[in-house]
Structure 1
Amino acid sequence: MSKADNMLSILWLLRSGKRVTAEQLADELEIHVRTVYRCIDSLCASGAPIIADSGPNGGYWLLGDFVDAPLLFDSEEQKALVHASVFAREAGYPFTDALSRAFDKLKRYTNEEQLEWINRHSSGLAVIQTPTDARELELLKRLEEATARGESLNMDYAKGPELTPSHRVLDPYGIVHWKGIWYVAGFCRLRQEIRSFRVDRIVRLAAGDTRFERPAAFSARDFLLHSLFPDSLEAETLVIVRIQGHEHALNELCKHWLFGHALIERRQPGEALFKLGEPSLRTYVPYFLLPYGKSLKILEPQILIDRMAGVSLEMFKYYEAMQIKSEDKKG
Structure 2
Amino acid sequence: MSKADNMLSILWMLRSGKKMTAQQIADELEIHVRTVYRCIDSLCASGAPIIADSGPNGGFRILGQFAESPLMFDAEEQKALVHASIFAKESGYPFTDALQRAIDKLKLYTNEEQLSQIERHSGGVSVLQPPVHKGLRPLLQTLESAAAHGQTLKMTYSKGREGASITRNFDPYGIIHWKGQWYAAGFCHLRQEIRNFRVDRIIGLEPTEHAFERPADFSAKDVLLGSLLPDQGSHEPLVHVVIQGHEHVLNELSQHWLFGHTLVKRCDGEAHFRLDTSSLTSYVPYFLLPYGKSLTILEPASLVLKLSEITTSMALHYERMLSDMTKKEG
Runs of 4+ in structure 1 over 6 Å off? 27-31
Letter in 2 for 1:189: H
Is 1:22 paired with 2:21? no
Letter in 2 for 1:244: Q
Query: Against the structure 1 CA distance between its residues 44 and 162, is the aligned structure 2 distance closer, same or farther, given a 3 Å change threshold?
Result: closer
CA distance 1:133–1:283, change in 2 (3 Å):
closer
2:308 to 312, 323, 330: 312
Is the alpha carbon distance of 1:207 and 1:127 closer, same or farther for their aligned partners in structure 2, counting shifts above 3 Å? Answer: same
Do structure 1's residue 149 and structure 2's residue 167 form an aligned pair?
no
In structure 2, the partner of 1:60 is none
- Please state if 1:46 is matched with 2:64: yes
- Within-5 A mapping of 1:178-327: 178-227=178-227, 229-231=228-230, 238=238, 240-264=240-264, 266-268=266-268, 270-299=269-298, 302-303=299-300, 305-317=301-313, 319-320=315-316, 323=319
Matched, 1:33 2:36: yes
> Equivalents in 2 of 1:234, 1:150: separation in Å?
31
| Alpha carbons of structure 1 residues 121 and 284: separation in structure 2 relative to 1, 3 Å | same
- The answer on whether the counterparts of 2:170 and 2:186 sit within 8 Å (CA) in structure 1 is yes
Q: CA deviation at 1:9?
A: 5.3
Q: Partner letter of residue 172 of structure 2?
A: P
C-alpha distance in 2 between matches for 1:36 and 1:25: 14
Residue of structure 2 equivalent to 1:90: 90
Partner of 1:58: none
1:47 to partner: Cα distance: 6.1
Taking the aligned partners of 1:306 and 1:147, their CA distance within structure 2 comes to 45
Q: 1:314 to 1:27 in 2, by over 3 A?
A: same
Shift of 1:256: 2.6
- Is the CA contact (8 Å cut-off) linking 2:14 and 2:61 kept in structure 1? no
CA contact (8 A) 2:7 2:40 kept: no
Decide which moves more: 256-265 or 192-201.
256-265
In structure 1, what is the Cα distance between the partners aligned to 2:224 and 2:65? 44
Normalized against structure 1, the TM-score is what? Answer: 0.75
Please give the alpha-carbon distance, in whole angstroms, between the structure 1 residues aligned to 2:232 and 2:7: 51
Q: Structure 1 residues 308-317 or 218-227, which shifts more?
A: 308-317
- In the TM superposition, residue 325 of structure 1 has moved relative to its aligned partner by 9.2
Please state how far the C-alpha of 1:205 moved relative to its aligned partner. 0.9
The alpha carbon displacement at 1:176 in A equals 1.2
Deviations 1:197-227 (A, max 9, x none): 1111111111112111112222222222222
What is the distance in 2 between the residues matched to 1:95 and 1:211?
A: 24
Residues in 1 aligned to 2:275 and 2:30: alpha-carbon distance in whole angstroms: 67
Q: Percent same amino acid among aligned pairs?
A: 53
Cα distance in 2, alignment partners of residues 319 and 185 from structure 1: 40
Instruction: Letter of the 1:297 partner, please give it.
Output: T
Aligned amino acid, residue 285 of structure 1: V
For residues 189 and 119 of structure 1, what CA distance do their matches in structure 2 show? 48
1:32 is paired with a residue whose SS is helix
- How much does 1:272 deviate? 2.9
Deviates more, 1:33-42 or 1:142-151: 33-42
Contact 2:185 2:220 (C-alpha < 8 Å) held by counterparts: yes
Q: TM-score, normalising length from structure 2? A: 0.75
Q: In 1, Cα distance between the equivalents of 2:80 and 2:265?
A: 30
Tell me the CA shift for residue 153 of structure 1: 0.7
Rounded Cα–Cα distance in structure 2 between residues aligned with 1:234 and 1:27? 73
Question: Do the aligned partners of 2:229 and 2:258 also contact (CA within 8 Å) in 1?
Answer: no
**RMSD of the TM alignment (CA)?**
3.7
Q: CA 1:315–1:46 in 2, change beyond 3 Å: closer, same or farther?
A: same
- Note closer, same or farther for the CA distance 1:205–1:22 as it changes in structure 2 (3 Å cut): same
> What is the alpha-carbon distance in structure 2 between the residues aligned to residue 171 and residue 160 of structure 1?
21
Please state how far the C-alpha of 1:112 moved relative to its aligned partner.
2.8
For the 8 Å contact 2:151–2:211, the answer to whether it is kept is: yes
Paired residues of 1:249 and 1:296 also in contact (CA < 8 A): yes
Gap change, CA 1:242 and 1:232, over 3 Å in 2: farther
Measured in 2, the distance between the counterparts of 1:242 and 1:213 equals 45
Distance 1:295 1:27, change over 3 A: farther
Q: Secondary structure at the match of 1:133?
A: coil
Contact 1:10–1:25 under 8 Å retained in 2:
no
Q: Deviations over 1:277-300 (max 9, x none)?
A: 45433443223222212211223x
Paired residue for 2:131?
A: 131
